[in-house]
Structure 1
Amino acid sequence: MSDNFPPPPPEQPQPEHRPPAQPSPWAAPAGPPQKQRTGLVVSLAVGGGLIVAGAVVALVYSAMNSVQDSIALPPRSDTPYSEPYEEEPYGEEPSAEEPVEPAPEPTVSEPDVKKDVTITACARDPQIGWQSAKVRVVNGSSTTASYHIGVEFLDKDGTKVADGVTGVVDLGPGKSVVEEIHGLGEVPRGTTCRLVDLMRTPAGD
């Protein structure tokens, strides 16, 4: 009896086992390549902007130094400070020294004319009712003088009811004279007398 066994199946080749490949140190890290490229562009743009800004600042600083160097300040003077002097008004020439006029001689102060004239009597005439006054004149000045003397006659209320005048001519210094002045018209009893319009004029004026 023969053995009719089928022939054995052919051996299948076994896959070769290889260790996994190691990543190269020069290879780019894994990750989305688009993000890495965007970051690189941003870094380049920022760096370029900083370089341009630095160049502009350097250019402006150089220009300012050039301007300061072109404005030259005047040299400092070693002359000591002096007070400013007053300038003469424009258009006026300095005048020559004018001769000094001698001071006028002091004049002697003459006494007031009121001190030269005094009423010595004031009475009403009982017959006709007219009022009169006697005045004494003493020339208290240093020169011969003439006098003008007026008298008012006042009633009890101080109202003028009459008046009169007299004059003295060329009365020497220290000399005296008595004059009588009469009012015109009848006046009431109790009428009083008052000096007015006194004037003293030196002789020759």
Structure 2
Amino acid sequence: MGGVAALLALGVLIATSVGSNSSSSKSNPPSVEATEGGAPVAGGASDAPTEPPAAEDTAAEDDVRITSCELDSVTQWPAADVEIVNHSGARASYIVNVEFVDGDGTCHGEGPAPSSNLDAGQKAVGKAQGLGKFTGKLTCKVAKVSRFPAS
């Protein structure tokens, strides 16, 4: 259990230190039970000629997928397995915040799933762990994805 607490503390520390260097979308991110929706709409208009977006302009949320959402059999704490594939054109690090939501849509906490130094095209699997017992129907939703250049 000490390792889980240390990992959560590290994720929170990284999330707070990243601050304004993060990128996130204001669209509703997918959950494990959600159906595929429309793609996020890119930002504002410009008078400059437009070109197709470069690979590094892909939305960070498009790099993330929740692969499982369940309660730990011993602690009854919620957890989500998260798959991250770096679709940007450069090495990047990620912090994925997952919300743990009940059947009424009430959020009962979040858990981070950090991943560092993913090369372009590289895949990583992480776990977002909630804290505290959870009862009822559980849904895990991606709340925020922060992607920033790896050092």
TM-score interval, smaller chain: 0.5 to 0.7
Q: CA RMSD in A?
A: 2.1
Structure (1/2) with the larger strand percentage: 2
Q: Secondary structure at the match of 1:152?
A: strand
Please report the TM-score for the alignment, with normalisation by the length of structure 2: 0.61
Q: Which residue of 2 aligns with 1:127?
A: 74
Indicate if the aligned counterparts of 1:124 and 1:189 stay in contact, CA closer than 8 A: no
Question: Which protein, 1 or 2, shows the higher relative CO under an 8 Å CA cutoff with sep ≥ 6?
Answer: 2
Q: Which residue of 1 aligns with 2:116?
A: 169
Pick the aligned partner of 2:128 from 166, 181, 201: 181
Structure 2 residue identity aligned to 1:175: Q
User: Structure 2 regions of 5+ residues with no counterpart?
Assistant: 1-51
Query: What CA distance in whole angstroms lies between the structure 2 residues aligned with 1:118 and 1:171?
Result: 16
Q: Aligned pairs, how many? A: 101
Query: What CA distance in whole angstroms lies between the structure 2 residues aligned with 1:117 and 1:184?
Result: 22
Q: Which residue of 2 aligns with 1:108?
A: 54
Cα 1:146/1:133, change in 2 over 3 Å: same
Indicate if the aligned counterparts of 1:166 and 1:181 stay in contact, CA closer than 8 A: yes
Query: What CA distance in whole angstroms lies between the structure 1 residues aligned with 2:93 and 2:112?
Result: 14
Q: Which residue of 2 aligns with 1:36?
A: none
User: What percent identity do the matched residue pairs reach?
Assistant: 35
Q: CA deviation at 1:189?
A: 2.5
Cα 1:194/1:156, change in 2 over 3 Å: same
Indicate if the aligned counterparts of 1:146 and 1:171 stay in contact, CA closer than 8 A: yes
Structure 2 residue identity aligned to 1:128: T
Q: CA deviation at 1:107?
A: 7.1
Q: Secondary structure at the match of 2:108?
A: strand
Q: CA deviation at 1:128?
A: 1.9
Query: What CA distance in whole angstroms lies between the structure 2 residues aligned with 1:162 and 1:177?
Result: 23
Select the structure of larger CA radius of gyration.
1
Query: What CA distance in whole angstroms lies between the structure 2 residues aligned with 1:160 and 1:108?
Result: 35
User: Structure 1 regions of 5+ residues with no counterpart?
Assistant: 1-105
Q: Secondary structure at the match of 1:114?
A: helix
Please report the TM-score for the alignment, with normalisation by the length of structure 1: 0.46
Query: What CA distance in whole angstroms lies between the structure 1 residues aligned with 2:147 and 2:65?
Result: 14
